Structure 1
Amino acid sequence: MSSVTSPAQIAATLTELWSPRVIAEVDDAYIKVARVHGTLAWHSHADEDELFMVLKGRLAIEMEDRTVELGAGELFVVPKGVRHNPVANEECHILLIERKSTRHTGDVVTDKTRSLDEQLRPVA
């Protein structure tokens, strides 16, 4: 049975930056939240779209042909195959919706890359 969840409250409790945590699942997708600040990494997801929604703060999503700026309550879907780099100049809380097959930073591995096991850890 499902339970009521507050993505904004859960994101506010996170202590690690750029470490998404799975808070729910719908069919073949995970709903994740993350606390972010700074730059993640240029990467793409060859076979999956990625939805970003800002819960608090501002997020820029750099792409090769443009940059999208999101404020609280706004969302944007990065289409599959599009190289992108999320950037938060100040602390930002985000909600992500991704297929369960989506790797955190695509085929790029950095010190910020998180495995699915890390993302599935219980939130305190």
Structure 2
Amino acid sequence: MREPIDLAERLARFSEHWSPKVVARLNDYEIKVVKLDGEFVWHDHAETDELFLVIEGTLTIRLRDPDERAVTLGPGGLHVVPRGVEHCPVAEGEVSAMLIEPAGTVNTGEAGGELTATPDDSLLDPSDADG
């Protein structure tokens, strides 16, 4: 039987920014927690939508969609960036967030660069891994 996952406890286990950590799996999707600070890179995910849920802090997601707009999220705020929409997350101070995306999704999409994270499921307890 699986135990509930305490997101705050999992977030307390690491300090690096822009390096998502898998905390659970749901079918072919990964549930990740991440700490953000400053500006990320412009990127997109051609094959999938990306869900952001802010736990702490303020996150602005700049979007290069037809309206060239930005979405600002506070704690409890959720936004889904549609597949193929170029976006750039900007954290105003440290932000803690949860991401939901298909397993294997690269955080920088095809943009690459120094902020590309290595897949990390070190926070995934064996009881959480069954899917």
TM-score, length basis structure 1:
0.91
Note the residue ranges of structure 2 that are not aligned, 5 or more in a row: 125-131
Deviation of 1:121 after TM superposition, in Å, equals 2.6
CA RMSD of aligned residues (A): 1.3
Structure 2 CA distance, aligned partners of 1:104 and 1:8? Answer: 21
**For 1:32-47, what aligned pairs fall within 5 Å after superposition?**
32-47=32-47
Structure 2 CA distance, aligned partners of 1:23 and 1:66? Answer: 31
AA paired with 1:105? T
Identical amino acids, percent of aligned pairs? 40
AA paired with 2:122? R
Structure 2 CA distance, aligned partners of 1:13 and 1:60? Answer: 25
**For 1:54-69, what aligned pairs fall within 5 Å after superposition?**
54-64=54-64, 65-69=68-72
- Name the structure 2 match of 1:25: 25
Structure 2 CA distance, aligned partners of 1:12 and 1:90? Answer: 17
AA paired with 2:76? G
- Name the structure 2 match of 1:109: 112
Aligned residues of 2:38 and 2:92 also touching (Cα < 8 A): yes
TM-score, length basis structure 2:
0.87
Of structures 1 and 2, the larger Rg is shown by 2
Match status 1:100 vs 2:72: no
Aligned length, in residue pairs: 121
Aligned residues of 1:12 and 1:35 also touching (Cα < 8 A): no
Deviation of 1:43 after TM superposition, in Å, equals 0.2
Deviation of 1:122 after TM superposition, in Å, equals 3.6
Cα deviation code 1:44-81 (max 9, x no counterpart): 00011000000001100011210000000010000000
Deviation of 1:90 after TM superposition, in Å, equals 0.7
Note the residue ranges of structure 1 that are not aligned, 5 or more in a row: none
Cα deviation code 1:83-120 (max 9, x no counterpart): 0011002111000000113211100112111122xx22
